[in-house]
Amino acid sequence: MKPVEIKKDIFWVGCVDYDHRDFHGYSRSPEGTTYNAYLIKDEKNVLIDTVSVGMGGTLLCRLAKTLPPEKVDYIICNHMELDHQGALAQIVERVKPEKIFVSQTGLKSMAGYFAGKDWPVVAVKSGDSISIGKRTIVFQETRMLHWPDSMVSYIPEDRLLISNDIFGQNIASSARFADEFGDDAEMEKRIKEYFYNIVLPYSPIVLKALPIVESLDIDMIAPDHGLIFRGEKAVRGIIERYRVMAEQKPQQRALVMYDTMWHSTEHMAYAVVSGLEENGVPTRLMSVKQNHHSAIMTELADCGAVVAGCPTHNNGILPHMAAQLAYMKGLRPLNRVGGAFGSYGWSGEAPKQLQEALAGMQMEMPAEPVRCNWAPDKETFRACHELGKAVAECLKKKCQG
Ligand code: FEO
């Protein structure tokens, strides 16, 4: 339970939540997460963010190993979501801070979550700064990254950016720094998973914010979840990773996602995969029933095409597929090619509905949906293969620009 000194007199005092599986109620965190909070010891002692509800005691114990909690002068809430401020009331009660800093928009969420509290809340805006002794803390609002009230805190004297949720990952580990994690592939996957399930809808805002981050002199980025990036190379690396993910340039890889009742649509899916693969597009096939919706979104990070298949049920699509499409639509993927297929017994509406759903996400749809009555025959498999080929050709053209 020791704090971890990340820079001289700056400590990680957060919590590791090894059992958390349902991040924010919608995304998967298969191996837990962390709620990072940071203590800066200076003439004014500052706590940046707290932790989730039920974990305030752990934060206080960790913090107390380096500073009596009562000596915290300021608390900064970089945004008010409850995985970081769920313990705020408990911490405020103990610390009795002189000031609590939030963004201008944070005033509203603070009032909403902590109505009636007579706390010394101060609103700050981009460019505002506070002097805490040897250091300055400069605030930069990052509205809608990913909450309206989000901001980041920059400490120029330490070349440190405390980046709020941005650049986070859902990782529960003894490691505090990315370079201690020891599994680059897993780290890469967690970065993608986090971005594609939390940050993706705000890609255009990310692209506007990155030059601001790059204009700062930084050799450490400390996010609110997961591991800290230290050293200029690691900082440049995660910024570049974000740029690539936010740009969403087409990639020559496809995702075929499907649901099935009696295996007809599943068999069609394999034929679509063949059509894609045999035309130069590596493909991942994922059942929407067997894979969590956020795992499918993570896969999309590397795929420029999405082909969806589902049988018709009660004149529509099956519930797992409906949920997957609703989730995907909300996350607003850009620059994709799409395709649709499915089997049916009598009415057969599902493929058209899939086609419309993907087109509604601005996907380019190079072929009509493939429908199959009852069980697929040679003709159906040929049509599915052709669908895969049409998507592959369209995607390759898109990738070439
Ligand atoms: Fe990690 Fe937006 O809370």
The domain ranges of the chain are: 4-247, 254-396
Element spanning 221, H or E: strand 220-222
The residues with which 229 forms a beta bridge, in sequence order, are 221
For 168, half-sphere exposure in the C-beta direction (CA atoms, 13 angstrom radius) is 27
Amino acid 27: pLDDT:
78
Task: From residue 223, give the alpha-carbon distance in Å to each of 6, 17, 379.
Answer: 12, 15, 53
Q: Whose CA is nearest to atom 1 of ligand 1?
A: 165
Amino acid 75: pLDDT:
98
- Among 17, 83, 141, 224, the one annotated catalytic: 83
pTM of the model: 0.95
Amino acid 113: pLDDT:
97
Write out the two tokens for 315. 């004149």
Using alpha carbons only, give the angle 181, 186, 192 rounded to the nearest 5 degrees.
Answer: 115
Closest of 49, 42, 55, 54 to residue 12, by C-alpha: 49
Which residues have a Cβ under 8 Å from the Cβ of 400 and sit 6 or more positions away?
none
Ligand 1 mean position, distance from CA 393 (Å): 40
Each residue of 57-82: pLDDT tens digit?
999 999 999 999 999 999 999 999 99
Cβ-contact 351, 341 below 8 angstroms? yes
Match domain 254-396 to its CATH number in 3.30.70.660, 3.40.50.360, 3.30.360.10, 1.10.3720.10.
Answer: 3.40.50.360
Write out the two tokens for 336. 């994709």
Domain 4-247 indexed as CATH 3.60.15.10: yes
Positions of E strands within 193-233: 220-222, 229-230
Closest of 120, 113, 130 to residue 44, by C-alpha: 130
CB 224 less than 6 A from any atom of ligand 1: yes
DSSP state of 198: I
- Among 17, 42, 141, 146, the one annotated catalytic: 146
Amino acid 82: pLDDT:
96
Write out the two tokens for 311. 């049988």
| Intrachain domains 4-247 and 254-396 with the same fold | no
Q: Whose CA is nearest to atom 2 of ligand 1?
A: 81
Residue 266 falls in the annotated catalytic set: no
CB count, 10 Å around CB of 27? 23
Ligand 1 mean position, distance from CA 222 (Å): 14
The residues with which 256 forms a beta bridge, in sequence order, are 285, 307
Ligand 1 mean position, distance from CA 278 (Å): 42
CB count, 10 Å around CB of 147? 20
- Among 24, 31, 73, 393, the one annotated catalytic: 24
Amino acid 21: pLDDT:
83
Amino acid 103: pLDDT:
98
Q: pLDDT 10s per residue in the chain (401 long)?
A: 799 999 999 999 999 999 888 778 777 777 889 999 999 999 999 999 999 999 999 999 999 999 999 999 999 999 999 999 999 999 999 999 999 999 999 999 999 999 999 999 999 999 999 999 999 999 999 999 999 999 999 999 999 999 999 999 999 999 999 999 999 999 999 999 999 999 999 999 999 999 999 999 999 999 999 999 999 999 999 999 999 999 999 999 999 999 999 999 999 999 999 999 999 999 999 999 999 999 999 999 999 999 999 999 999 999 999 999 999 999 999 999 999 999 999 999 999 999 999 999 999 999 999 999 999 999 999 999 999 999 999 999 999 98
Given the CA of residue 165, which atom of ligand 1 is nearest to it?
Answer: 1
Q: Whose CA is nearest to atom 3 of ligand 1?
A: 81
CB burial of residue 348 (10 Å; 0-12, 13-18, 19+): middle
Give the ranges where 219-349 is alpha helix by DSSP (H).
Answer: 232-247, 264-277, 293-300, 319-330
Write out the two tokens for 122. 């101060």
Residue 225 falls in the annotated catalytic set: yes
Cβ-contact 51, 189 below 8 angstroms? no
Distance CA 100, CA 350 (A): 53
Each residue of 194-215: pLDDT tens digit?
999 999 999 999 999 999 999 9
CB 225 less than 6 A from any atom of ligand 1: yes
Nearest 10 degrees: CA dihedral of 51, 52, 58, 61? 40
Residue 194 falls in the annotated catalytic set: yes
